[in-house]
Amino acid sequence: MRLTHVTNYFSPRRLGGTEFYLRDLLREQSKEHKASVAFRRRESSDRDLRSFEENGYFVHCLNFSKSPSKAFGEAGRALFERVLDRDKPDIVHFHSFMELPYSLLDAANERGIPSVFTVHDFSILCPSVSLVKPQGVLCSGHVKGFECFQCHTGHQGLLGLEKAKRLSHLSAYLSYQREGLEALQKFDVILCPSEFAARKLAEFRVPTEKLVPAPFGRTLNPRLRFKSVGGVLRFGFIGELVEEKGIELLLKAFQSLKGVDAELDVYGNGEQAYEEHLVSLAGKRSPINFLGSFDRTYIDRVFERIDVLVIPTLKQETASLLLLEAIACNVPVIASNAGCLPELVKKHNAGLVFEFNDVESLAEKMLEFAEEPHLTEQLSRGMAPPLTLEAHARALEEVYKSLAKR
């Protein structure tokens, strides 16, 4: 089959969660199919298309600048039409529309090409992506345009005059969710990595027959060791160092532990000022180790060092590749009780959950691991493994084939 994937950003050299997932999926699919990925280069203002082959699949860079809605849609569609002319895909698989126009979906539909959408996050419903209000309160998503404006500008830290200037874009907030919901109606199939994602979209009257379960897959080498009873308990954090990942929440919870022989390893980078703030918050003589970033291809080696992974996210996630990677390496987790995380923890018998955005609750769960020396090994040995990447790719292929036969 000929498969064209579309996402908002893609670089084999700079990988976030969605990009890492898509890179591995492309490599797997290109073994038997002709696969490509198209994305918009955010830094470019030239209207041109650049294509090249890498790792057995084609990469299409759509170079066009952000502009008023109509011009933005026309520019994006014109370039994407050229991708469709070149690839002649049997299926177009969309992954994100952040900073991408929905006219790309219209281009595929008008050619009669079946379209698939994976719900990697809630950006299609929420301009802040997180479905969490600035005060750290969960949002249902059923809000009015001005509420979205207040929330989004609050997340950006805009006040006074700067916030008032943004009022000129109020119409965009009023139409943001409506346009996203209209797009969801146009896809042939919507792939949901979790039951939570499917339930949330169903709340917005997305036809349930379009919603297809599609849990992510990850293939890693199993963990070779378990924590020795009586040794140092090593907690781990892996992710970008930004406020929405909950790293400050974790630092405060860890520092509240008293008389516990434990360390916290922090993997990831962020803006220099925020990194400095976190280091200051941790203190100079704290058993908190800031270890920077690493090649995620070798994440199983990082998990060999960690006893318990903590996912303190301040977002409502639709999926968590990181959690599945921990499970694949038999590393127990402590996860926030929001989004898909409690569902996945329970499904895989992977660890404990704490109350969303609650320092004391997180500290209690961390202390539980410290006071129950056999808990880490007990959870490690009893986990239900996730799908492999190969099994996930085969499941997608069945979806593609069913659409191609229509």
Q: Average of pLDDT values for 280-292?
A: 91
**Under CATH, domain 233-382 is a member of which superfamily?**
Glycogen Phosphorylase B; (3.40.50.2000)
What are the tens digits of pLDDT across the range 58-107? Answer: 999 998 887 767 778 898 999 999 999 999 999 999 999 988 999 999 99
Dist CA 105 CA 89 (whole Å): 13
pTM of the model: 0.92
What stretch(es) of the chain map to CATH 3.40.50.2000? Answer: 2-218+389-404, 233-382
Tell me the sheet residues that pair with 353: 335
Dist CA 28 CA 23 (whole Å): 9
What are the tens digits of pLDDT across the range 244-268? Answer: 999 999 999 999 998 899 999 999 9
Question: For position 43, what pLDDT does the model report?
Answer: 62
Dist CA 149 CA 128 (whole Å): 10
Question: For position 84, what pLDDT does the model report?
Answer: 98
Sign of CA dihedral 2, 8, 13, 16: negative
Percent of the chain with pLDDT over 70: 91
Question: For position 174, what pLDDT does the model report?
Answer: 74
Tell me the sheet residues that pair with 35: 3
**Under CATH, domain 2-218+389-404 is a member of which superfamily?**
Glycogen Phosphorylase B; (3.40.50.2000)
Task: Choose the weakest-confidence range: 29-38, 67-76, 396-405.
Answer: 67-76
- Output the six-digit token pair for 34: 């002709």
What are the tens digits of pLDDT across the range 109-156? Answer: 999 999 999 999 999 998 889 899 888 889 998 887 778 878 877 777
**Count, residues in the chain:** 406
What are the tens digits of pLDDT across the range 209-227? Answer: 999 999 999 988 765 555 5
Mean model confidence pLDDT for the chain: 90
- C-alpha distances in angstroms, 32 versus 216, 390, 399, 402, 406? 19, 12, 16, 17, 22
Dist CA 9 CA 47 (whole Å): 17
| More reliable by pLDDT, 66 or 360 | 360
